[in-house]
Structure 1
Amino acid sequence: MNKIYNYIKLTRPLNCLITALVVFVGGIISSQNNSFDRILILASIVAAIVAASGNVINDYFDIEIDKISHPDRPLAKGVIKSSNALWFYFFLNLIALFISYFLYLKLFAITILASAILFLYSFHIKKIPLIGNITVASLTAIAFLFGGLAVNNIKASVVPAVFAFMINLIRELVKDSEDIDGDKSDNVITFPIKYGFEKTKYLILALTIVLIIFTFYPFLIRSYRIEYFIIVMLVVNPLLIYSMKKLFDNDLKENFHRISIILKLNMLFGLIAIFLGK
């Protein structure tokens, strides 16, 4: 049982669940009658599996970094061999490709593209300041578009995709600030390492202000109902503002970690706001 638990932990199941929810909600809000079918469910499962494989290959390449930044992860702890993790990665990708093959051709193509990008990100792209962060944020946005495509209405998923891109770009920069010691030890040059905490914080602040302003857009153009506006105004935006306040408190790893968790939680509230407001 411990072995199975470690493999599940390696995939970061909460992140996979969030990815599946993003695709599912993206499909629901993009459908003409707010319903879902077999293809959307399978598309959500495919997205979760692809996310799982991406987490596995990321930890495979980041073993030395995680020994400092995330020593509790299975590969960093040594409870799973790196060779076994690599086979597990290939297995997950095969499952995702197999399922998506029987869906729309465009979904199959995006699955291949997303898997390739995740590999390239873990292998090299993540070492390029800001470009790596933009890549991860873009993949989250693609998840929304994936859901819209599953119900043949990708246009309706564009606004949620923009939200997903923005908040994930913010969170990626926070995570880089949290992992700065481990990244330095492995000679990974992230934005906080190259430009320092202060410039990183002001970039995060600027992106957050843009995101908060953009949250008004769907309501102003009457794309979403009042339920969306209420949740965004009472929960989502206050949490964003609180996160920014905490961001400037100190430069401790624990502080960045708390902010990262708050932002992840805020993604769920954002999904709820969009789902109820559509």
Structure 2
Amino acid sequence: MLTFFKLIRWPNVLMTILTQLVIVYAILIPSGVDMALSWWQLSLLIISTALLTAGGNVINDIQDVVIDTINKPEKVLVGKSISENSAFTIYAVLTVIAVIAGFILANSLDKPIMATVFVFVAFLLYIYATTLKSMLLVGNIVISLLVGLVIMITGIFELYPVITPVNQGAQQTMLKILFDFAVGAFLINLAREWVKDCEDINGDHAGGRNTLAIAIGRIRAARVVSVFLFGVIGLLVWYVYNYLYQNQIALFYFVFIIIAPLMYVMLRLWSSEKTAQFHLLSTILKVVLLTGICSMAVIALTI
């Protein structure tokens, strides 16, 4: 059982679940907008999204055995703690259950076309792990888009089925707010993907991948990411100034819990050269991604 939870990377799955719960219970419900999902339909949405995430993590581990053997041999599970066939069976079962749950959810809303979202995500996760991940920039962008999609898919399923001419303005405003957070999650995760590429350059090179760090060198790539983060910080400052300036709690949260760590990573990237240094910066960005998710609740609870 421990091997299973490690294989699906349970912290990532838990973060996905947390994201959806925060959106529903800390943003949508307190805002008073019309919502489509009952408790069991929301459960289906969370189950489907969580299982798709888990399945994507499993297929990634299957495809990354050679690379992970070089980058982090102590964490390799496939071929050691579990056979490749067993891992693939787990991936298939998780993905099939996720898609079935999505179909049930979409049909319960009388919107069967919405089930294609789950099929598309399952397909994209497989293609990402087997093909796109090896392509320069493409894999980083795709997986970061999927991170942002976790936020949007929750809003779409909760708000879209009950849009009417009367509530259209409120529903669209809420979707716009969620879109802003989805963009933030996309940008931060994209930076983290590039930092991870700097960290994993040796294994990626041996595995035949073409990452930013391999294409232009680890040091240059780190500095490109630093400049990118400068732009991200600029966008966050603009957002805080325009939307949160009068909310002191949210203001301090963004400045000290999100922007300050990003500035630290931005500056440290100019002097980082070793794998351990990039691992630390990648971990900080992952924590910032989590605090960014929690910021939705902070804003909602302090308005």
Normalised by the size of structure 2, how large is the TM-score? Answer: 0.84
What is the correspondence of 1:220-259 to structure 2 with a 5 Å cutoff? Answer: 220-222=241-243, 225-259=247-281
Structure 2: how far apart are the matches of 1:189 and 1:26? 36
What is the correspondence of 1:61-80 to structure 2 with a 5 Å cutoff? Answer: 61-76=63-78, 78-80=80-82
The corresponding residue for 1:206 is 227
The corresponding residue for 1:123 is 130
Structure 2: how far apart are the matches of 1:217 and 1:45? 35
Secondary structure in structure 2 of the residue aligned to 1:151: helix
Point out where structure 2 has 5 or more consecutive residues left out of the alignment. 107-111, 160-170
Change (3 A) 1:156 1:119: same
Q: Are residues 1:177 and 2:179 paired?
A: no
Secondary structure in structure 2 of the residue aligned to 1:216: helix
The corresponding residue for 1:11 is 8
Point out where structure 1 has 5 or more consecutive residues left out of the alignment. none
Higher gyration radius (CA): 2
- Amino acid paired to 2:299: G
How far is the alpha carbon of 1:216 from its aligned partner?
A: 3.1
How far is the alpha carbon of 1:106 from its aligned partner?
A: 5.4
Deviations 1:183-220, CA, capped at 9 Å, x for gaps: 11111111100111233122211221121122234444
Structure 2: how far apart are the matches of 1:25 and 1:110? 21
Contact kept? 1:97, 1:111, Cα under 8 Å:
yes
Q: What count of residue pairs does the alignment treat as equivalent?
A: 275
- Amino acid paired to 1:238: A
Change (3 A) 1:5 1:65: same
RMSD (Å), alpha carbons: 2.1
Deviations 1:48-102, CA, capped at 9 Å, x for gaps: 1111100100111111111111212343561110011111000001111122122
Identity %: 28
The corresponding residue for 1:49 is 51
Match of 2:184 among 140, 156, 163: 163
Q: Are residues 1:193 and 2:214 paired?
A: yes
The corresponding residue for 2:157 is 150
How far is the alpha carbon of 1:247 from its aligned partner?
A: 2.1
Of 143-152 and 34-43, deviating more is 34-43
Structure 1: how far apart are the matches of 2:270 and 2:293? 27
How far is the alpha carbon of 1:144 from its aligned partner?
A: 0.7
Structure 1: how far apart are the matches of 2:251 and 2:117? 32
Of 72-81 and 143-152, deviating more is 72-81
The corresponding residue for 2:109 is none
Of 162-171 and 235-244, deviating more is 235-244
Of 252-261 and 100-109, deviating more is 100-109
Structure 1: how far apart are the matches of 2:28 and 2:101? 22
Deviations 1:91-145, CA, capped at 9 Å, x for gaps: 0011111221221345522111111111000111011111110011100011110
Of 16-25 and 78-87, deviating more is 16-25
Normalised by the size of structure 1, how large is the TM-score? Answer: 0.91
Contact kept? 2:13, 2:53, Cα under 8 Å:
yes
Structure 1: how far apart are the matches of 2:203 and 2:259? 31
Of 147-156 and 48-57, deviating more is 147-156
What is the correspondence of 1:31-110 to structure 2 with a 5 Å cutoff? Answer: 32-33=31-32, 37-38=38-39, 39-76=41-78, 78-104=80-106, 105=112, 107-110=114-117
Contact kept? 1:107, 1:146, Cα under 8 Å:
no
